[in-house]
Structure formats: structure tokens, C-alpha cells
């Protein structure tokens, strides 16, 4: 049972790339906090709202969540996906510590606790900031990449998979009509979760993910086998951080050091055409995977994690991340989550399933 403590005002913000289900999570925080008699202050544009004066934040009222926001993509609060306020890079190249101004912002809002809906990088920064401000912090994991350690599903992941599967559903008829190989490039950064889930659910023949090495020999052998079976089209899913067969990254490094992926799909289609002479086309899904209306399971996960985050604060259990695991909620200490990346492991059920379906997923060692 939840025993309310002296906490009276919770701040909530979204941080990092947006995804489907963020508004559902904010809604859950507001509704549950309200039921406990607490206020929720929504901070705008991630930590950036704390830099401005007056601080860009407002009281979130349960009445605002009239049903529309539960369904709406994006984040009603705005977000920021660049920079570390403890070492913010200015336009002139200098690096500035903005944390003191943000601490003042938290104090100005009179917050008793902070809930951050973000990825593990955001958790590290927000926890540090909350400590500086002397308020407890709880993290709620969101990312289409699903790479947050300790949670089976981060908010937004399942909707991103749904979008990718819908894309395959639309690519299949046109692939069949034109006897083509259709390459679908999906997001995910260093984790192939979106790709392998989409490949299994969308009936792909080939799925390349960053975690598993592949060879053009293996890949073309699969395409030849498909052709030999009497089928004249094929579907290929490739995750954005997959490298060329010689290990070259297909990405741009931005001035701030961030890697921007995109392009491996085009590289792959060219190679397929060159190697086996079959007409190939590419679809790069990109941010379409983030902007969709959240599907039911994402609304469930977002709601459960939002409620649990409030419960953690109520129970005085700060410094934790709410997680969705084995169809239930739980929580882990921040230190266990931060700095780790949840990748597709060789013994993952999706790897086993893909192999069982005959999908070429790379050259795995035997056994
Ligand atoms: O981390 C989520 C994600 O959508 C990745 O899959 C992708 O590589 C990246 O963000 C794109 O970032 P941005 O929105 O900055 O282009």
C-alpha cells in the first residue's frame, strides 16, 4: 500500500527523442498524483524550461486529460534531445555548466520531487540535477530503440514496431507485383529490437541488426534460395546502425559528437542489385516511427510506469527507474540502469524465432 509522505509537488518533464505514449505517461503521473492530493508541474522542453526566467513550467490539471492526450503522439511538454547542462556546448564552441541555473529553476518551482520520462542518458543528467537541488528523482523509460537496461518494453517501442510492420505490409504487395527486393531501413541506433520484431511480424526474408555480423555471401545465398523456391520478391529489414560488409559505418558525426544514422538501406539495395541483378528499392522509415498514435500496449505500459513512478516517490523510494518486466511493473536502482545498453542478445527469443522461420539474420556461430 502507498503511504503518502510529505511530498506535495512533483515536477515532470520529457527528455530525449519523442515517441508514442509520452502524453499517456504524463497523464498517468498527473491523475495518480492528484488522487494522492499532490500537484504536478509540467516543465517545458526538458531541462531547457528550467533555464528560462520565468521558468517555463505550468501546473498540469487532471481536467486537461480529457481523453485526447492519451491518444496523441509527441509530448505535450516538448522535449530536448541534445546536450548535457553540466557541460553545455554554446554556439561559439565554449562549454558552459548550466546546472546551477537549473537548480535555481527547480527551487523556484518549489518541487518536492522530479519524474523524468527519458532514456538512460537523460536519467543520469536528471538524477544529478535533482541531487543538486535536493529533490528525489524517479525515471520512466521511453525510447523507440528499447535499449534501456532492465525493462522489457520502453514507452514508444511497440508503436514503432507497429509502424515498421505496417510498412512491410504495404511493401509486400508492391514487391510482389514488380518482382523486387524491398529494403526497409528502420531506426534503433545500436539496438536491433525494432528491426528483428518487425522482421518476424512482417514476414521478412532478411533482417540485419548491429549486434549480429553478416556477409554478402550469406545474404545473397538467402535471396537466391528465395528465388529458387519460386518466389520472385523478397523483403529485407535493416537497422540503421548496421555497417557495410567491410565494417564501415554509414553515418554522419555531428559537430557535437552525436552520430546521425541513415543510408545503410541505400547502400544495401545497391549491393543487392550489383551482386544478383535483381531490381531493389529502399524505404527509410525515419521519424515516422516516432510520430504515430500510441497503440494499446504502449498506452498500458506508459500508464503503468507513470503510476508506479508516483508510487515510488510516495513510498520515499527515489533514485530508481520504473520498469516493465514480465508483464508487470517493477523498479531498479538508477546505478543499475544508467550506462548500460539493452541490446539484442544471441539467446533472445526473437533471434531464435527468426532463425526458426528461416530468416537470414547474419552469420551466427553454430550452437
Ligand atoms: O533514439 C531514438 C531515435 O529515434 C533513434 O532511433 C534515432 O537514431 C535517433 O533517435 C534520431 O534522432 P534525431 O531525432 O535527433 O534525429
Our answer to whether residue 145 is catalytic in this structure is yes
| Active-site hit among 84, 120, 127, 145 | 145
- What is the percent of the chain with per-residue pLDDT over 70, rounded to a whole number? 98
Instruction: For 100-126, write each residue's pLDDT tens digit.
Output: 999 999 999 999 999 999 999 999 999
pLDDT value, residue 257: 77
DSSP alpha helix (H) spans, 278-323: 296-314
Q: Ligand 1 in contact with 284 (CB < 6 A)?
A: no
Q: Is the pLDDT of residue 27 over 50?
A: yes
Residue 2 has pLDDT above 60, yes or no: no
Would you say 197 and 57 are in contact if contact means Cβ atoms under 8 Å apart?
no
The DSSP line for 14-45 is E-SS--TTHHHHHHHHHHHHHHTT-EEEEETT
Could you tell me the distance, in angstroms and rounded to a whole number, from the CA of residue 297 to the centre of ligand 1?
21
Count of CB atoms situated within 10 Å of the CB of 252: 11
Q: Does residue 17 have its Cβ closer than 6 Å to ligand 1?
A: yes
Interval 202-228 mean pLDDT: 98
Domains of the chain, CATH where assigned: 9-155+294-325 (3.40.50.450), 160-290+346-356 (3.40.50.460)
Reported for 264-269, long-range contacts at CB under 8 A and 24+ positions apart, including other chains, are: 264/185, 264/238, 264/239, 264/240, 265/183, 265/184, 265/185, 265/238, 266/185, 268/183, 268/208, 268/236, 268/238, 268/242, 269/181, 269/183
**3-class state of residue 86 by DSSP:** helix
Give pLDDT tens digits for 39-73: 999 999 999 999 999 999 999 999 999 889 999 99
Distance, CA 115 to ligand 1 centroid (Å)?
Answer: 22
188 lines ligand 1 (CB under 6 A): yes
Across the chain, what does the average pLDDT equal?
Answer: 95
Cβ of 185 closer than 6 Å to ligand 1, yes or no, is no
Check if the beta carbon of residue 337 is closer than 8 Å to that of residue 139: yes
Amino acid at each position: 500500500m502507498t503511504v503518502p509522505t510529505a511530498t506535495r509537488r512533483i515536477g515532470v518533464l520529457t527528455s530525449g527523442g519523442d515517441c508514442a505514449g509520452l502524453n499517456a505517461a504524463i497523464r498517468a503521473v498527473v491523475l495518480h498524483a492528484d488522487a494522492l492530493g499532490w500537484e504536478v508541474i509540467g516543465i517545458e522542453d526538458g531541462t531547457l524550461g528550467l533555464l528560462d526566467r520565468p521558468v517555463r513550467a505550468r501546473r498540469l490539471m487532471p481536467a486537461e486529460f480529457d481523453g485526447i492526450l492519451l491518444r496523441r503522439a509527441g509530448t505535450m511538454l516538448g522535449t530536448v534531445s541534445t546536450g548535457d547542462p553540466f557541460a553545455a556546448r554554446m554556439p561559439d564552441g565554449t562549454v558552459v555548466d548550466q546546472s546551477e541555473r537549473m537548480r535555481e529553476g527547480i527551487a523556484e518551482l518549489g518541487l518536492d520531487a522530479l519524474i523524468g520520462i527519458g532514456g538512460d542518458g537523460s536519467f543520469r543528467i536528471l538524477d544529478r540535477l535533482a541531487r543538486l537541488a535536493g529533490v528525489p528523482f524517479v525515471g520512466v523509460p521511453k525510447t523507440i530503440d528499447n535499449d534501456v537496461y532492465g525493462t522489457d518494453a520502453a514507452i514508444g517501442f511497440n508503436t514503432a514496431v507497429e509502424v515498421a510492420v505496417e510498412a512491410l505490409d504495404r511493401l509486400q504487395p508492391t514487391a510482389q507485383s514488380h518482382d523486387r527486393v524491398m529494403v526497409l531501413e528502420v531506426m534503433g541506433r545500436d539496438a536491433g529490437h525494432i528491426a528483428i520484431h518487425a522482421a518476424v511480424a512482417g514476414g521478412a526474408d532478411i533482417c540485419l541488426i548491429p549486434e549480429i555480423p553478416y556477409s554478402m555471401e550469406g545474404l545473397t545465398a538467402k535471396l537466391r534460395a528465395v528465388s529458387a523456391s519460386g518466389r520472385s520478391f523478397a523483403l529485407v529489414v535493416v537497422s540503421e546502425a548496421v555497417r557495410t560488409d567491410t565494417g564501415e559505418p554509414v553515418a554522419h558525426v555531428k559537430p557535437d559528437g552525436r552520430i546521425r544514422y541513415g543510408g545503410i538501406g541505400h547502400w544495401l539495395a545497391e549491393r543487392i542489385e550489383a551482386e544478383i541483378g535483381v531490381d531493389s528499392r529502399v524505404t527509410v522509415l525515419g521519424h515516422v516511427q516516432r510520430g504515430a498514435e500510441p497503440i494499446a500496449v504502449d498506452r498500458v505500459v506508459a500508464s503503468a510506469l507513470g503510476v508506479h513512478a508516483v508510487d515510488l516517490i510516495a513510498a520515499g523510494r527515489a533514485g530508481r527507474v520504473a520498469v516493465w518486466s514480465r508483464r508487470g511493473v517493477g523498479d531498479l536502482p538508477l546505478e543499475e540502469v544508467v550506462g548500460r545498453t539493452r541490446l539484442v542478445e544471441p539467446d533472445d527469443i526473437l533471434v531464435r524465432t527468426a532463425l526458426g522461420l528461416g530468416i537470414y539474420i547474419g552469420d551466427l556461430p553454430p550452437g
